[in-house]
Amino acid sequence: MLVSGTEILQKAHKEGYGVGAFNFVNFEMLNAIFQAALQKHSPLIVQASEGAIKYMGIEMAVGLVKTLAQKYPEVPVALHLDHGTSYESCIKAIRAGFTSVMIDASHHHFEENLKETKRVVEVAHACGVGVEAELGRLMGIEDNISVDEKDAALVNPKEAEEFVKETKVDYLAPAIGTSHGAFKFKGEPKLDFERLVQVKKCTNIPLVLHGASAIPDTVRQAFLSSGGDLKGSKGVPFSFLQEAIKGGINKVNTDTDLRIAFIAEVRRIANENNSEFDLRKFFSPASLAMSKVIAQRMEILGSADKY
């Protein structure tokens, strides 16, 4: 059943668990996500970036989700625009049938971010659509910054309080030290959990963790053994994800782990049988491998058996 992102995340916020927000770019990825949700009785958020929408077409993206939502009406699912870069992009997604959107104006100064977010919220709420925004910025692994610079890059809890009050945004992604992609940390992983707790206390709304790929050992080994190279990647450990949920995170973005698991299986099959060209022989096992990663993530986040 297709529902708003607010409906799913308010329940997670009140009950203290996390919901995976899984990116997709085709039917195989989306079907793997739904199969895991069915297996684990988990609500879910499926999300498409602007790049994925350009690849699939917005009508196809919405159509695929609506078709599977109708096929599996027992699964509460929200369709989310991931990192909408403009007011226009968010409005286009809302008109197309998305039930949740992110307006990412975090690269602007605080006042401009607030202004742009407020514009999107006004339209989205009139349509029953939830809105996510972001404060602070995700740091790359090559960032070599001072303590003062780090503090400026991460979310300010008091600014978060003002931002939520003024914009009436439904969920907020606070920058606490993660980064996008597989290559997150130079040394040991570090997230500012104390800052996270302060943001939750100041805002009292669902919070979002971006850059949350974990690169679990099983996925890493499958990718490496098939001939892949992760160049010493380090993800966010499961223990950190669980600590983040205790601190107030309710939406956990997940993309990189799914891609790695899928491609590892495709490469393994290609290596073992170089005369195979039936796409189904590649994509069915790859989707199953991805679904196992998603099901495990649902257990870790605490969303299993929540519907």
Give the catalytic positions in this structure.
82
Beta bridge partners, 46, equal 22, 79
42 CB contacts (<8 Å, ≥6 apart)?
19, 20, 36, 75, 298, 303, 304, 305, 306, 307
Alpha-carbon span 298 to 203, nearest angstrom: 25
Q: Are 21 and 251 in contact (CB under 8 A)?
A: yes
Helical pair 256-272 and 27-40, crossing angle rounded to 10 deg: 110
- DSSP code at position 212: -
The sign of the dihedral angle between the CA atoms of 287, 254, 75, 120 is: negative
Q: Are 177 and 190 in contact (CB under 8 A)?
A: yes
Are 3 and 78 contacting, i.e. CB atoms less than 8 angstroms apart? yes
Non-local (6+) Cβ contacts of 108 within 8 A are 116
